[in-house]
């Protein structure tokens, strides 16, 4: 059971890394942030520094960065800054994945710093290619989709028994968070970037962002329910063992 707890902690931490990436880029781009939360739901602890309230919430597997602007005010920010803000989270996950691969190279394989950097770069590129191919197959066979339940089950069973395994798991999850969030589907980061580009082509298209985002949320929630049902079925039949 301890291995599953480690997996949950790592998963929550990597989501926090993603949100922290958004926060840091927002600060650099001078986008005011009202609230930064690790987790969702009721506040456990929180403190305000400057214009931003930092909080830890009750549900650990999630988080958000809330700009101190309404939708119209946010859209009035330069498109370049909004795109950078959206890229901040995926970029943070890629950097964290690279750091994890560096650590694996040095600690697990005894590589020098230079060789570890080469190893990390090569593995990062190979893993991104494999992940892109795996994503393309999901459209053909959606039964392979897994949600949070499946990720924890797989992580605990296959990666959670050793430090090297947990490090490999963190690399895999970081890359998944980066790539999945860059899909051009609102409300994901890739969807926000898509609308920033579309409004450059034809500005009235920006008005469609809110209704399309609501539809996107409905699709994502339905997909999460479907994935959870799939995961529970796999656990019941011992497929994750």
Average pLDDT per consecutive 10 residues, the chain (241 residues; last block may be shorter): 81 94 96 94 93 92 91 89 97 97 93 95 93 77 72 74 86 93 92 91 82 90 86 73 55
So what's the pLDDT on residue 203?
Answer: 79
Identify the pLDDT of residue 241. Answer: 55
pTM of the model: 0.89
- Distances in whole angstroms, Cα of residue 23 to Cα of each of 26, 162, 212: 5, 32, 24
Where do the domains of the chain lie?
Answer: 2-31+69-236
Question: What CA–CA distances, in Å, run from 22 to 62, 72, 93, 142?
Answer: 14, 19, 11, 30
Distance CA 215, CA 13 (A): 28
Between CA 225 and CA 208 the distance in angstroms is 26
Distances (CA, A) of 111 to 95, 116, 119, 168: 19, 5, 9, 16
Q: What is the pLDDT of residue 194?
A: 94
Could you give the CA distance from residue 214 to residue 116 in angstroms, rounded to a whole number? 44
Q: How many CB atoms lie within 10 A of CB 95?
A: 14
Give which of 225, 211, 223, 216 is closest to 139, Cα–Cα.
223
Give the model's pLDDT for residue 184: 92
pLDDT value of position 143: 66
| pLDDT of 134 | 81
CA dihedral 160, 165, 171, 176 (to 10 degrees): -50
DSSP 8-state code for residue 207: G
Residue 114 pLDDT: 95
Instruction: Return the sign of the alpha-carbon dihedral for residues 74, 77, 80, 81.
Output: negative
Query: Does an H or E element contain 47, and which?
Result: strand 33-49
Q: Would you name the residues annotated as active-site residues? A: 19
Residues 6+ away with beta carbon under 8 Å from 67:
26, 31, 32, 33, 34, 74
């Amino acid at each position: 059971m301890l291995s599953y707890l480690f997996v949950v902690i790592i998963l929550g931490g990597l989501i926090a890394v993603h949100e922290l990436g958004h926060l840091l880029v927002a600060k650099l781009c001078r986008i005011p942030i009202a609230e930064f939360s690790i987790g969702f739901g009721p506040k456990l602890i929180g403190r305000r520094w400057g214009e931003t309230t930092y909080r830890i919430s009750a549900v650990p597997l999630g988080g958000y960065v809330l700009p101190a602007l309404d939708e119209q005010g946010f859209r009035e920010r330069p498109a370049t800054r909004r795109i950078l803000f959206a890229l901040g989270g995926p970029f943070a996950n890629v950097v964290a994945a690279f750091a994890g691969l560096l650590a694996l190279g040095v600690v697990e394989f005894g590589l020098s710093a230079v060789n570890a950097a080469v190893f990390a770069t090569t593995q990062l590129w190979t893993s991104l290619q494999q992940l892109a191919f795996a994503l393309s197959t999901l459209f053909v066979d959606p039964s392979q989709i897994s949600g949070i339940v499946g990720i924890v089950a797989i992580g605990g069973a296959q990666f959670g028994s050793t430090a090297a395994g947990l490090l490999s798991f963190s690399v895999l999850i970081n890359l998944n968070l980066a790539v999945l969030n860059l899909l051009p589907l609102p409300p994901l980061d890739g969807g926000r970037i898509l609308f920033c580009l579309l409004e450059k082509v034809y500005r009235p298209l920006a008005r469609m962002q809110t209704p399309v985002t609501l539809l996107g949320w409905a699709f994502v929630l339905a997909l999460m329910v479907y994935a959870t049902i799939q995961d529970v079925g796999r656990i019941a039949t011992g497929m994750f063992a």
